[in-house]
């Protein structure tokens, strides 16, 4: 897919106020600093369409970008847990869960994980939560430039195996990327393009 336009539309913390055009939408989610905003810039070939930072917590709010005038990319803040009760129960931040539960246009959530790290409970729990809520998702391994090709393949394989050994019967689609080296760009854009075609033909 060729990117002909990419424009920032709006930021907000209220899913009800997100754009209401019936266009397919893809959201980038994951821990702070995993590289969500950088990946959006890499895919769009723009240096600072989405704001990035070496310090975690750069992206706040739900940020909509309209691409080629016919689909949306959404940059989200890093998820974490919010404490909600005396019993120290932990849940994901409310506006993030509301976004995923209520956003009808959402056709795929991309869960980003740093390829160097072992599976982290917060990511596994978020994927499980997406599954429980019937939200389609794919995994994007980020920062592949930090590993040698062999180690990179090994890490991704071990991660997927971990999912299969725990609660998943099927491996979700997954992509290995580097925003620094542009690894994975064409594969991801093709994946999005295929879903868009299905969306518009149904
Ligand atoms: P929050 O908005 O805080 O949730 O973070 P984020 O997930 O949007 O991360 P962001 O894109 O701001 O990147 C965080 C840091 O990781 C920045 O210093 C980036 O330069 C760096 N980074 C992102 N992607 C890559 C990558 O593919 N390779 C390398 N080496 N560094 C990366
Ligand atoms: Mg960000």
pLDDT computed for residue 46 by the predictor: 94
What mean pLDDT comes out for the span 15-36? 95
- C-beta separation of 141 from 113 below 8 A: yes
Range of weakest confidence among 11-15, 26-30, 177-181, 197-201: 11-15
Supply φ then ψ for residue 69, to 5 degrees. 60, 10
- C-beta separation of 28 from 40 below 8 A: yes
Q: Which ligand is nearest to the CA of 34?
A: 1
pLDDT computed for residue 50 by the predictor: 93
**pLDDT digits over 125-165, tens only?**
999 999 999 999 999 999 999 999 999 999 999 999 999 99
Range of weakest confidence among 22-36, 60-74, 80-94, 176-190: 80-94
pLDDT computed for residue 117 by the predictor: 96
Sign of the dihedral through C-alpha 155, 157, 158, 163: positive
Distance between Cα 51 and ligand 1 center (Å):
10
Q: Is the pLDDT of residue 179 over 80?
A: yes
- Find all residues with CB under 8 Å of 80, minimum gap 6, and list them: 31, 32, 92, 93, 122
pLDDT computed for residue 23 by the predictor: 97
Supply φ then ψ for residue 101, to 5 degrees. -80, -30
**pLDDT digits over 88-113, tens only?**
778 888 889 999 999 999 999 999 99
The protein residue with its alpha carbon nearest to ligand 1, atom 12, reads 52
pLDDT computed for residue 82 by the predictor: 77
Supply φ then ψ for residue 25, to 5 degrees. -135, 140
Q: Is 12 in the pocket of ligand 1 (CB under 6 A)?
A: no
Q: Which among 27, 28, 32, 33 is the best mutation to test ligand 1's pocket, defined by most ligand atoms within 8 Å of the CB?
A: 33
Residue with token string 């995994």: 139
**pLDDT digits over 45-97, tens only?**
999 999 998 988 888 889 999 999 999 999 999 998 777 777 777 888 888 99
Q: Is the pLDDT of residue 11 over 90?
A: yes
Mean pLDDT of all residues belonging to the chain? 94
The protein residue with its alpha carbon nearest to ligand 1, atom 13, reads 35
- C-beta separation of 24 from 194 below 8 A: no
């Amino acid at each position: 897919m060729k990117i002909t336009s990419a424009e920032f539309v709006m930021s907000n913390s209220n899913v009800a106020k997100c754009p209401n055009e019936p266009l397919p939408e893809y959201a980038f989610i994951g821990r702070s600093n995993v590289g969500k905003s950088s990946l959006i810039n890499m895919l769009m070939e723009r240096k600072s369409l989405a704001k990035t930072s070496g310090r975690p917590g750069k992206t706040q709010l739900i940020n909509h970008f309209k691409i080629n005038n016919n689909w949306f990319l959404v940059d989200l803040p890093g998820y974490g847990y919010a404490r909600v009760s005396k019993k120290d129960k932990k849940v994901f931040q409310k506006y993030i869960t509301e976004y995923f539960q209520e956003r009808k246009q959402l056709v795929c959530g991309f869960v980003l994980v740093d390829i160097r790290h072992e599976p982290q409970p917060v990511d596994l729990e978020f994927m499980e939560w997406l599954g429980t809520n019937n939200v389609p998702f794919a995994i994007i391994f980020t920062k592949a430039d930090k590993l040698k090709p062999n180690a990179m393949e090994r890490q991704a394989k071990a991660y997927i195996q971990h999912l299969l050994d725990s609660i998943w019967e099927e491996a979700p689609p997954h992509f290995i990327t580097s925003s620094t080296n542009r690894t994975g760009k064409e594969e991801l854009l093709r994946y999005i393009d295929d879903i868009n075609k299905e969306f518009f033909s149904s």
